[in-house]
Amino acid sequence: MRVVAGLVSAGACAVLVLASGCGTGSAPREEPAATVTVEKTPDTPDPSAITQEPPAAAPRPADQWVMPNLVGTTLQAAQDQVQAVTAGGVYFTGSHDLGGQDRSQVLDRNWQVCTQNIAAGAALTAESRVDLGVVKLEETCP
């Protein structure tokens, strides 16, 4: 029985040596993964996406035209010319009787323009109030 017990002891030792990694004493070590640092940069707005509105009080260049010379034309032609120059931006023009009779200008084709409150060549805007001094066609401008 001694022989059997000795063989069992020797076998147990052999199993123990094999289980311990063949004499290295420790299991193989894994290398740590590399660390990557990512920094988030602040979002920078696209300069072309930034728009600035012009101040409300100042007319935009697209809303500014050159006042034509209306003196000598009929009231109807003067009104048509202002509307054409401004592409409808200035639709209403005012007029008053220079003949001293305070007559209403009912038929615009029967009146001629003698004066204009905005000089020819001056800036005309959508906010401009055009006022034309007129007399009847058969009358002379004062």
Each residue of 2-22: pLDDT tens digit?
A: 544 444 455 554 545 455 554
Q: Give the residue, 6 or 92, on which the prediction is more confident.
A: 92
Helical (H) or strand (E) element with 4? helix 2-19
DSSP state, residue 125: E
Going from N- to C-terminal start, the domains of the chain cover 62-136
DSSP state, residue 82: H
Domain 62-136 has CATH 3.40.50: no
pTM over 0.75: no
Q: Look at residue 75 in the predicted model and tell me its pLDDT.
A: 98
- Main-chain dihedrals φ then ψ at residue 20, nearest 5 degrees: -85, 10
